[in-house]
Amino acid sequence: MHTIIKAHDSQMEQIIEKVRHGQRLSLEDGVFLYESDDLLTIGQLANEVALRKNGKKVYFIENMSLYFTNVCEAHCAFCNFRKDEGAPGAYTLSGDQMIEYVEQHIHPGVREFHIVGGHNPHVPFQYYVDSLKALNEKYPDVTLKAYTAAEIDFFSRISGLSYKEVLEELMKAGLKSLTGGGAEILSDHYRKKMRVDKADVSQYLEVHRTAHKLGLRTHTTMLYGSIESKEDRIRHLIQIRELQDETGGFLVFIPLSMQPINPKAGIRRRNSAFEDLKTIAISRLMLDNFQHIKAYFINIGVQLTQVALTMGASDAHGTIVKERISHAAGALTPEGITREDLIWLIKGAGRIPVERDTFYNEIKIYE
């Protein structure tokens, strides 16, 4: 059903024709879409692509976020999660301590641990290996999706091992997938200005390239809404699209809406709902070689997530249990959500909820 969209702008018409004929959008196309205020046309076009790729299915997972340490050597300007060693609130958990935490919060049905944390230089690389090993031995049926590409780069620096060797050690300990964080905006100019003193653009991409070669399927993100230009965002999408062309190793793309450092910050300090929806839709249109675009309710809220499911998103994330990083930076959303609420949210958008595992294998379809 392609009759509803009416585009009077010739460039928009050309983009619509490109998308409908399976032609790849250019940098210029992406920037034009960002500068357009025709959210309905962009959203409907993205919806067509999502339906073509996944039908009406929208995926979610029963997962749990874990954070072994918040001690970090980096001082990224947008982060309010990190602490210095010995500072109030700083912590580094042992495997046994993390298992104790999990025992208190886990619920039946959890299929995935989503594990990220600070770059803590006060513990050796073996600590990070042993952390995974402890969880893997206690919960062998729960998939370990652990560490960002920036963390892998950090582990390489503190251990003297190559990316490949670091990943192989972690895989022996139970690692099954990498998280998508650490991408921020893939621009060295941006990273310098925002004090992203961790993996640079080429290192971020090389870690994922190496992981894909080792057979790991991974996730990738974009943290938008600070100083970057619209062109920076599109160049970011093109760089991960090119890597996906090369390896086919990405499972999903997750646009992350920047949160203000202060939880009491007003709406003018946050991305607008308009911008959030547009970013999800444009991501769907630019990333023609990605199966899924995720709407991350932690950053954009549950109701906007529901709308995003009609504008290109085909994944509603998961139950999470207790998210900390975005909430440390001022997210006003729930720290987690129940399976029942996720199902209700997806059905409310006229979609079919599908419970999945980490790799998008379907566990249960809720017709």
Q: Which two structure tokens, joined as six digits, stand for 141?
A: 């049926």
Q: Report the C-alpha gap between 198 and 149 in whole angstroms.
A: 10
* CA-wise closest residue to 81 among 313, 323, 266: 323
Give yes or no for a contact between 313 and 284, defined as CB atoms under 8 angstroms apart.
yes
Residues whose CB is less than 8 angstroms from the CB of residue 28 and which lie 6 or more positions away in sequence, other chains included: none
Does the annotation list 76 as a binding residue? yes
Does the annotation list 209 as a binding residue? no
Q: Report the C-alpha gap between 338 and 349 in whole angstroms.
A: 17
Does the annotation list 79 as a binding residue? yes
The shares of helix, strand and coil residues in the chain, as percent rounded to the nearest 5, are: 45, 15, 40
Q: Report the C-alpha gap between 292 and 284 in whole angstroms.
A: 8
Query: What kind and span of H or E run contains 252?
Result: strand 250-257
Does the annotation list 72 as a binding residue? yes
Does the annotation list 195 as a binding residue? yes
Does the annotation list 24 as a binding residue? no
Give yes or no for a contact between 222 and 243, defined as CB atoms under 8 angstroms apart.
no
Q: Report the C-alpha gap between 204 and 298 in whole angstroms.
A: 24
Give yes or no for a contact between 222 and 236, defined as CB atoms under 8 angstroms apart.
yes
CB environment 14-28: b (16+ within 10 A), e (fewer) = ebbebbeeeeebeee
Residues whose CB is less than 8 angstroms from the CB of residue 362 and which lie 6 or more positions away in sequence, other chains included: 354, 355, 356
Q: Which residues are annotated as a binding site?
A: 72, 76, 78-79, 184, 195
Q: Which residues are annotated as a binding site for S-adenosyl-L-methionine?
A: 78, 184, 195
Q: Which residues are annotated as a binding site for [4Fe-4S] cluster?
A: 72, 76, 79
